[in-house]
Amino acid sequence: MKKQTNILIINAYFDPWRSATPTRWFIPRAMAPIYLAGHFNRADFHIKIWDEVFHGALLDTRMFDWPDVVIFTGLTAAFDRTHQLSAYFRNANPNVITIIGGPIPRALPTLCADIFDYSCQGDVEDISAIIAELFGPASVSHSMAPRFDLAVPSMGVGYLETTKNCNFACAFCSLTGEQRTYKAHTEQSISAQLDAMQRVLGVMVLDNNFYGNSRQSFERRVELIGARWRQGQFRGWGALVTGDFFKHEENIELMARNGCKAVFSGVESLDPAVLRSFNKKQSMTSDPLKLTKLCAEHGMFFDYGMISDFTQQTTAEVDEQLNAIIQEPSIPLPGLLTLTIPILGTPYFDSSARAGKLMPNLLLSDMDGQKVVEWPKEPLEKVVPFVADLLRFRGRKSALVRHAFKHAWHWRRKFDWDQTALALVRPLHRFGGRVNLGSLRQMRQSFKEQPLTYCAMSDGLRSAYTPLVRLPSKFEACFTPLQITDAAGGLTEDLIKARSKSSAIT
Ligand code: B12
Ligand code: SF4
């Protein structure tokens, strides 16, 4: 019998709280590994997925010599993690083939082309050409249907992508830096994803912008999902939409009629000056109170994200905004609360670097939204302790619990049981603290971490930068953090070289 080739697909991740244990209950979940796996012909390959968010840090040294091919994906800040993992696999099996794609090689094209055997700039579909080159065209799957079977347990949630990229250009968004065209999946692709998903409790549409710029396409996509909902494939669905979606009530009506139970939108800030500086014009009229009411009237739960920008806002202003939300039970608490991140490759990163706002000795892995990385408007001694309390909801925990109950009670007549439970559990889960349970090795690694300081200038290196196993000196560079700024706050030569485009890039 022909031996199957072992493929390991890894979503590399550095947890902002420096926990090495799994984050099982977090929605959404990274789907690139599941879509990538769908391109391999099932008969020829043995595929494993390790998602460092869902499964926790990959610390099982027995895994290192298992794969013949390792495929990496991950958020931009996880570059160092992919570099570290590549060293473990290469040391254990010098013939291993390494492939990387997604935001990391898009932001660091030259560096990734130097490190990995294949560095892809394109979408998940590009993996087919590599499979064909390495193993022959017969090894590419005909259906390309996502391998949701490799994503169990899924907590009853199925994931669907109906469009790629975004038609807006917010200054801080990595998609703006990548400049890829907004496009919708074909009906055939959407149906194939829904078929592969089978019966689930609820569907989350992952699109950055489900609404988009074509009314016809939007309506068609809503109806396609609605048809499956009516057939009973799931009890409801939710999607991410941009602020312009709410300007026409018929959009909300259409989604509600087709089984949509929740929408998420990046409100980002209640401060118009901050929104203008982010080029986030579409959120100018996104008042969470108005939008919560509007959605609730149609039986839909409204969720949103907020960004605090201490280069423009004072601690008193941020405090006041959060208190106003906590004191108003009809508005949900934001599902996401972070600091602005100057993500590599974005216009925001460039302007921050040019204006000398980036702190000295900044590492790429610092850019996780949970620490101060730019010089704030007020003194550091004031901002950093405030951020430490803000992100842990310190001093606001009992107000949080009271708000969660009052909010769920307030909208109980508009929502069904699933939505009421979501309204109650989501903020408690998000801000109430987490239980760090995982393998012994993962729990030991989390325990070893130095306490967070919430400031890039004082945080020490994560323990992931110390190799788990003894490695030859040629792998030393794999554990050296990619430094964004030097001691004077200027961009490092290494970064400038890493970002330059070379003609050899695939
Ligand atoms: C799931 C998700 C998460 C999950 C898991 C993310 C992960 N990979 O680890 C969680 C909840 C942890 C998360 C967290 C954050 N996220 Co997030 N997240 C998403 C979300 C909603 C879906 C991602 C997804 O699965 N898409 C579907 C898959 C198929 O596509 P994809 O991963 O985008 O990959 C495409 C290409 O990059 C490429 N590709 C990717 N990998 C590979 C590999 C190969 C080999 C190939 C060929 C191609 C390829 O193909 C795909 C298109 O076909 C996206 C929005 C979106 N709709 O994409 C945001 C998004 C990825 N997140 C984003 C952000 C900003 C964050 C946060 C920083 C938010 C915050 N301020 O706290 C945090 C990260 C904190 C940290 N530690 O750094 C940004 C991108 C940031 C970046 N480039 O680093 C996005 C794009 C949202 C946005 N529009 O701003 N997120
Ligand atoms: S609307 Fe969202 S996805 Fe689109 S550019 Fe702005 S932040 Fe990015």
User: What are the pLDDT digits (tens) for 169-200?
Assistant: 999 999 999 999 999 999 999 999 999 999 99
Q: For residue 344, what is the DSSP state?
A: T
Residue 335 in contact with ligand 1 by CB distance below 6 A: no
On average, the pLDDT of the chain sits at 92
Instruction: Provide the pLDDT confidence category of residue 504 given band limits of 50, 70 and 90.
Output: very low
What amino acid occupies position 328?
A: E
> Is residue 273 within 8 Å of 293, Cβ to Cβ?
no
Please state the φ and ψ torsions of residue 473, each to the nearest 5 degrees.
-60, -20
Q: Percentage of the chain surpassing pLDDT 90?
A: 76
> Among 7-16, 279-288, 477-486, 492-501, which is the least confidently predicted range?
279-288
Mutation test of ligand 1: which of 69, 124, 390, 505 has the most ligand atoms closer than 8 Å to its C-beta? 124
* pLDDT tens digit sequence for 61-95: 999 999 999 999 999 999 999 999 999 999 999 99
CA of 398 to the centre of ligand 2 (A): 33
Residue 282 pLDDT greater than 50, yes or no: yes
Residue 51 in contact with ligand 1 by CB distance below 6 A: no
pLDDT of residue 67: 98
85 by Cβ neighbours in 10 Å (0-12 / 13-18 / 19+) ranks as buried
Tell the residue nearest (CA) to atom 2 of ligand 2: 208
C-alpha to C-alpha distances, 491 to 271, 482, 499, nearest whole angstrom: 30, 11, 11
- Write out residues with Cβ below 6 Å of ligand 2: 166, 168-170, 173, 175-176, 208-209, 242, 266
* pLDDT tens digit sequence for 389-413: 999 888 888 888 888 889 888 888 8
pLDDT of residue 2: 58
DSSP string, 151-164: G---TTEEEE--EE
Helix (H), strand (E), coil (C) string for 179-248: CCCCEECCHHHHHHHHHHHCCCCEEEECCCCCCCCCHHHHHHHHHHHHHHHHCCCCCEEEEECCHHHHHC
C-alpha to C-alpha distances, 231 to 146, 156, 227, 259, 269, nearest whole angstrom: 21, 17, 6, 11, 39
Residue 425 pLDDT greater than 90, yes or no: no
Give the residue among 229, 249, 228, 391 at the shortest CA–CA distance from 318. 391
Residue 285 pLDDT greater than 70, yes or no: no
* pTM (two decimals): 0.95
Residue 160 in contact with ligand 1 by CB distance below 6 A: no
Structure tokens at 226: 């609605």
CA of 292 to the centre of ligand 2 (A): 20
240 CA closest ligand 2 atom index: 2
Residue 208 in contact with ligand 1 by CB distance below 6 A: yes
Residue 44 pLDDT greater than 60, yes or no: yes
Residue 130 pLDDT greater than 70, yes or no: yes
pLDDT of residue 332: 87
* pLDDT tens digit sequence for 235-253: 999 999 999 999 999 999 9
31 CA closest ligand 1 atom index: 25
Mutation test of ligand 2: which of 208, 277, 284 has the most ligand atoms closer than 8 Å to its C-beta? 208
pLDDT of residue 346: 96
Tell the residue nearest (CA) to atom 78 of ligand 1: 368
Beta bridge partners of 302: 263
Residue 101 in contact with ligand 1 by CB distance below 6 A: yes
* pLDDT tens digit sequence for 321-335: 888 888 888 888 888
Strands 202-205 and 157-160 turn out to be: parallel
Residue 363 pLDDT greater than 80, yes or no: yes
Q: Roughly how many angstroms between the first and final C-alpha of the chain, as a whole number?
A: 34
Q: Is the dihedral of CA 318, 321, 322, 327 positive or negative?
A: positive
Q: At how many degrees (to 10) do helices 417-431 and 397-410 cross? A: 170
The CATH T-level fold of domain 1-151+355-393+432-506 is Rossmann fold (3.40.50)
Mean pLDDT, residues 102-110 taken together: 97
Tell the residue nearest (CA) to atom 28 of ligand 1: 32
> Among 150-154, 291-295, 492-496, which is the least confidently predicted range?
150-154
Give the residue among 426, 424, 398, 392 at the shortest CA–CA distance from 410. 424
- Longest Cα–Cα distance in the chain: 69
> Is residue 372 within 8 Å of 458, Cβ to Cβ?
no
* pLDDT tens digit sequence for 460-475: 999 999 999 999 999 9
Give the residue among 196, 181, 204, 323 at the shortest CA–CA distance from 259. 204
Residue 503 pLDDT greater than 60, yes or no: no
Q: For residue 142, what is the DSSP state?
A: S
Give the residue among 305, 325, 471, 310 at the shortest CA–CA distance from 402. 325
State how far the Cα of 209 lies from the Cα of 214, in Å rounded to an integer. 12
Q: For residue 358, what is the DSSP state?
A: B
Structure tokens at 405: 């109950």
* pLDDT tens digit sequence for 136-177: 999 999 988 999 999 987 889 999 999 999 999 999 999 999
CA of 260 to the centre of ligand 2 (A): 21
Residue 373 pLDDT greater than 90, yes or no: yes
- Specify the CATH class of 156-308 in words: alpha beta
Residue 164 in contact with ligand 1 by CB distance below 6 A: yes
Domains of the chain: which residue ranges?
1-151+355-393+432-506, 156-308
Mean pLDDT, residues 273-301 taken together: 81
pLDDT of residue 484: 98
State how far the Cα of 12 lies from the Cα of 15, in Å rounded to an integer. 10
Q: Which residue has the tokens 């730019």?
A: 374
Residue 16 in contact with ligand 1 by CB distance below 6 A: yes
Residue 163 in contact with ligand 1 by CB distance below 6 A: no
Q: Percentage of the chain surpassing pLDDT 70?
A: 97
Residue 386 pLDDT greater than 50, yes or no: yes
pLDDT of residue 505: 45
Residue 77 in contact with ligand 1 by CB distance below 6 A: yes
Mean pLDDT, residues 257-282 taken together: 81
